[in-house]
Amino acid sequence: MTRIITVLITLAALVAACTSTTHHRVTDPYGAVVRMSNDKTIHLVFSADSAFEGAPMALDEMRKRNVKGSFFFTGRFLRMPENDSIINRIIADGHYVGGHSDGHLQYADWDKARTNLVADDSLLNDLHLNYEELSRWNITAQSAPYYLPPYEWYNAQNVAAINSTGLVTVNFTPGLWTSDDYTTPDMENYRSSQELLDLLYDFERQHTLNGAIMLIHLGTHPLRTDKFYRHLPAIIDSLSTKGYQFKTL
């Protein structure tokens, strides 16, 4: 592990250059990048730990439109033999593939203070295991420096630990509720696909989506029959007509 972390740290200067203010990147209060630039570009992000049933459809539609996205996988997902073919297709299609932790740890409590739940050494060991799995697809920290924390939830200590390795912690743009597509009707915070669409387009009108990071889950619980990912083609087409381009991180 020490050797891997040492190699990662050598990337710090490069990362610092990439995250300079000349790129107009925006970070959240904990240090994660939540907007990549001020350009009229959108970064579609997809994460997976287990369910991924919507991926073939999404990849077909993205290929038709020559749109590239960024995929973040846990080590657990990468170890499932049944996922090998879809991972190979994602890589072959030229999408970004990066880490999402090894065991999908919860870094911080859901309380307001985001109380720390994982010691730095445990977090870094889990991170190392994630990149070990990615290496089976010839994906390294150098080629995939952007990292999406599990649950998209963390605190400043977690981000500092991740970034100390030379990686860049990213998360979806606050105010974009597309990540709530995991909710099911029995949950208090359930949001239908129509509500998520309305919130997305309203946010674009008020704040633009320049440099935005938009997270969509391509696998959700069977209880959610209203699959938001089915709206991906229409989202791409609608925002493209407004002049947005879709790029990887």
- pLDDT digits 0-9 by tens, 33-42: 999 999 999 9
Per-residue confidence (pLDDT) for residue 1, from 0 to 100:
47
Per-residue confidence (pLDDT) for residue 104, from 0 to 100:
97
In a domain, 39, yes or no: yes
In a domain, 243, yes or no: no
Q: Count up the domains in the chain and report the number.
A: 1
Per-residue confidence (pLDDT) for residue 23, from 0 to 100:
65
In a domain, 225, yes or no: yes
% of the chain with per-residue pLDDT over 70 = 91
Per-residue confidence (pLDDT) for residue 45, from 0 to 100:
98
Per-residue confidence (pLDDT) for residue 222, from 0 to 100:
97
In a domain, 116, yes or no: yes
Domain that holds residue 150: 2-238
pTM of structure: 0.90
Q: Decide if 68 contacts 245 (C-beta within 8 A).
A: no
**Residue ranges for the chain with pLDDT beneath 70:** 1-23
In a domain, 83, yes or no: yes
Helix axes 156-163, 120-135, angle to 10 degrees: 50
Residues whose CB falls within 8 Å of the CB of residue 143, separated by 6 or more in sequence, listed in order: none
Per-residue confidence (pLDDT) for residue 113, from 0 to 100:
97
In a domain, 245, yes or no: no
In a domain, 189, yes or no: yes
Number of residues written out for the chain: 249
In a domain, 249, yes or no: no
166's tokens: 């030379």
CATH number of the CATH domain containing 150: 3.20.20.370
Exposure string (b/e) for 70-93, b if CB count within 10 Å is 16 or more? bbbbbbbbbeeeebeebbeebeee
